[in-house]
Amino acid sequence: MAKQIIEITMPQLAESLVSATVDRWLKQPGDSIDMYEPICDLITDKVNAELPSTVRGTLVKHLIGAGETVEVGSAICLVEIEATATETNESSVGGTDEVTQTSQPSSLSAKPSPATYGGEVDANAPMRHRYSPAVQKLAAENGIDLNRVPGTGEGGRITRKDVLAAAASGSASAANPLATTPSVQSSLAPMDPKIQVRSTGMHLSESPRIPSVEVEGQELPGRGEYYIDITPIRNTIATRMRQSVSEIPHGWMMIEVDVTNLVVLRNKLKEEFQKREGINLTYMPFLIKAAVNAIKDYPIMNSVWAVDKIIVKRDINISLSVGTEDSVVTPVIRHADQKNIAGIAHEIDDLARRTRERKLKLDDVQGGTFTVNNTGSFGSILTQPIINYPQAAILTFESIVKRPVVINDMIGVRSMVNLCLSLDHRILDGVICGRFLQRVKENLESYTLDTKLY
C-alpha cells in the first residue's frame, strides 16, 4: 500500500492563542502513533497541554525542537501513514508519496502574489498590521498570508471581508499545495518559525526563543556561581512580566483594614466548615467576595485597555495567583459574582490543588478579568504586584498582624491587614481606585458573627 507523509500543525487551541512552545516530545522519529495519542507537551499561556495526533502512523521527523515556540498553523512534525485506495488514485501520476496537512495549512506554502487579491498592498498603512482574532482565525483556516492581503478598513486594516475575498480568489487552495507535491524530498520545505500569524496588537508580543543553556548545575571555580536551565514556563512568565511592565504604566496604592471581626468569624466557623465541606476555610474567599462586591460598584476596575477604547467586562472572573516551587499560575474563578463564600472556597481549593498537581486545563487559566494574590501567606505586609496582562488591576492580601490601634481616642489591639493595589494608569486614577479600596475595606470590616457562608 502506498505511503503518505502527513504534516501535523500547531492547532488553534484558543481564539486568542497565536503561538505555543513545545515543552518536550513524547514520541521520537520511528515511533508508532495511534489516533489521538499525545505526541508532545505544549506550553500555552502558563499552562501545559498535550497535543494529540490526528492520524495513525509512524513519526518521521520533528520539525520543531523542544523548547522552541511556533505560531499557530505551523508544521511541527511529519508522520507517515498508509494511503487509502481512494487517496492513492487521487495522487499525482507517478508519485507514491506525498505530503498533506491535517489541520491548518502551513504558512510556508506557496503564496499568491498581491495581484491575486485584486488590490495594492500598502505596507505603511498605520492599521495594516492590527489583526482581529476573527481575521486571524479566518486567514489560518483558509491559508491566507495576511501580508499579501490589501486592507480596505480604516487605516488599511484588514477586515474579514478582505480575507474572504482573498480566499474566494483562489488563494485558499494555493495555500495548501502540498497535496500535489510529487515527492517527500521535494515537499519538505524548510520551516521558518519566525512567520507570525499576528505581528502587532494589544495582546501580542513576540515570544522570544528559549535561550540555549550550555551548563547545568556546574559551579564556576572561584566564583561560587552556577547555572539553572530556563524552563519554557519560566520563559513564559518572564515574557508576560516584561510585557506587563513595558506596556502598562503601573500605579500603586495601599489601604489598611481592621479585620478583627473577620478573624473571629473565621475561627468560629473553620472547624465546622472542615467537617462539613472537607476543605479548609481560609481568608481568601472572604477577600474575594469583598473585592467582587466592590467591582460591582466600580466596574471600571474590571476592564481592559484596547488602544482606542476601554473594554469593561461584564463577567467578573477572578484570576487567583497560585505559586508552585518553580512558577506562578493564575487559574480563574469564573462568574465569581454568582458564587457565595462557600462556593468560592471550593473553587480556590480545587484550582490550587490542580495547579500544584499540574492538572490545569487551558480553559482554567483563560478569561480572567481581575487578579487577587495572597502574598500574606509568605509573611509579607507590603507588595507592589505586577498586573496580570492585559487586566487593569491586581489586589494583594497581606499578612494579618495584631497591633495597637487608636479607636475613639483609645488604644486597642486589633487584627490589621494591608491591601495593596497595582493599577493600569491608562485606565484608572487615584480617585476611582481610592474609592474602590475604601469599598473593599468596608466590605471586609462589615463581616460579623452573623455572616452566612451559604
Amino acid found at 193? P
Beta-carbon contacts of residue 324 (< 8 Å; ≥ 6 apart): 355, 356
The span from the CA of 321 to the CA of 241, in Å, is 14
The span from the CA of 60 to the CA of 78, in Å, is 5
Closest to 48 measured CA to CA, from 13, 16, 8, 12: 13
Q: Can you state the angle between helices 260-277 and 430-445, rounded to 10 degrees?
A: 60
Give catalytic status of residue 429 as yes or no. yes
**Residue 248, helix vs strand vs coil:** coil
Provide the pairing of β-strand 75-82 with 57-62: antiparallel
Contact 347, 333 (CB under 8 A): yes
Biggest alpha carbon distance in the chain?
97
Here the cell at position 444 is: 471586609
Task: Write down the catalytic residue from 250, 335, 346, 425.
Answer: 425
C-alpha 299, offset from chain centre: 23
Bridge partners of residue 101, in order along the sequence: 7
Give catalytic status of residue 425 as yes or no. yes
CB atoms within 10 A of CB 89: 9
Task: Write down the catalytic residue from 192, 326, 363, 429.
Answer: 429
Contact 174, 109 (CB under 8 A): yes
Which class for 357: exposed (0-12), middle (13-18), buried (19 or more C-beta within 10 A)?
exposed
Q: Is the bond leading into 385 cis (omega within 30 degrees of zero)?
A: no
Contact 49, 38 (CB under 8 A): no
Amino acid found at 278? G
- First vs last C-alpha separation in the chain: 65
Which class for 160: exposed (0-12), middle (13-18), buried (19 or more C-beta within 10 A)?
middle
Closest to 454 measured CA to CA, from 186, 269, 246: 269
CB atoms within 10 A of CB 445: 15
| Residues known to be catalytic | 425, 429
